[in-house]
């Protein structure tokens, strides 16, 4: 039985990095990139349009940053899985991401790791298993 690929939106303002991440995830077979955003407002619009399984969100987007975009996405759909990433090692960033409703956190170095797809798959599996039953 073939697993249905997880639909993902990438929110990253560095075009080269966004293309690289898209190639890594599309090439894995477990993911399909349904949209790429270069700022927070565009990320919110793409999530509304595509209802992805995962949003991979840069914390430092121009305009509406990744924290505010995550908060807006969560206000619209509290079950939307957002994974925030940053190059910072500051705990405050993790705390702000968590408070905004992010369901995962990665260091930006993970984006170019050969283990990125595995990490996202594990994060999503754990996120889904922690959701309450819709009964």
Query: Looking at residues 36-60, what average pLDDT do you find?
Result: 97
Q: Where do the H-state alpha helices sit in 51-132?
A: 66-76, 91-100, 116-130
Query: Which pTM value belongs to this model?
Result: 0.92
Angle at the Cα of 87 from the Cα atoms of 82 and 92, rounded to 5 degrees:
70
Query: Which of 6-15, 65-74, 88-97 comes out lowest in average pLDDT?
Result: 88-97
Give the Cα separation of 131 and 17 in Å (integer): 31
Query: Which of 2-6, 41-45, 111-115 comes out lowest in average pLDDT?
Result: 2-6
Give the Cα separation of 47 and 36 in Å (integer): 10
117 Rama sector, left if φ>0, alpha if ψ -120 to 50, beta otherwise? alpha
Res 1: pLDDT: 38
Rg of the chain taking only CA atoms, in angstroms: 14
Give the Cα separation of 56 and 106 in Å (integer): 9
DSSP-derived letter for residue 133 is P
Where in the chain does DSSP place strands (E)? 6-11, 31-37, 54-58, 81-86, 104-107
Query: Looking at residues 19-24, what average pLDDT do you find?
Result: 95
Domains of the chain with bracketed CATH: 6-130 (3.40.50.2300)
pLDDT band with cut points at 50, 70 and 90 for residue 127: confident
pLDDT band with cut points at 50, 70 and 90 for residue 114: confident
Res 88: pLDDT: 80
């Amino acid at each position: 039985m073939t697993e249905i690929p997880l639909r993902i939106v990438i929110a990253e303002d560095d075009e080269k990095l966004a293309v690289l991440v898209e190639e890594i995830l599309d090439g894995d077979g477990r993911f399909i990139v349904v949209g790429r955003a270069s700022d927070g407002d565009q990320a919110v619009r793409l999530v509304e349009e595509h209802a992805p399984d995962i949003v991979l969100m840069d914390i430092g987007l121009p305009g509406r940053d990744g924290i505010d975009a995550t908060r807006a996405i969560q206000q619209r759909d509290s079950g939307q899985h957002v994974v925030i990433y940053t190059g910072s090692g500051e705990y405050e960033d993790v705390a702000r991401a968590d408070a905004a409703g992010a369901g995962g956190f990665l260091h930006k170095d993970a984006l170019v790791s050969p283990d990125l797809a595995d990490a996202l798959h594990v994060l999503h599996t754990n996120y889904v298993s922690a959701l309450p039953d819709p009964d």
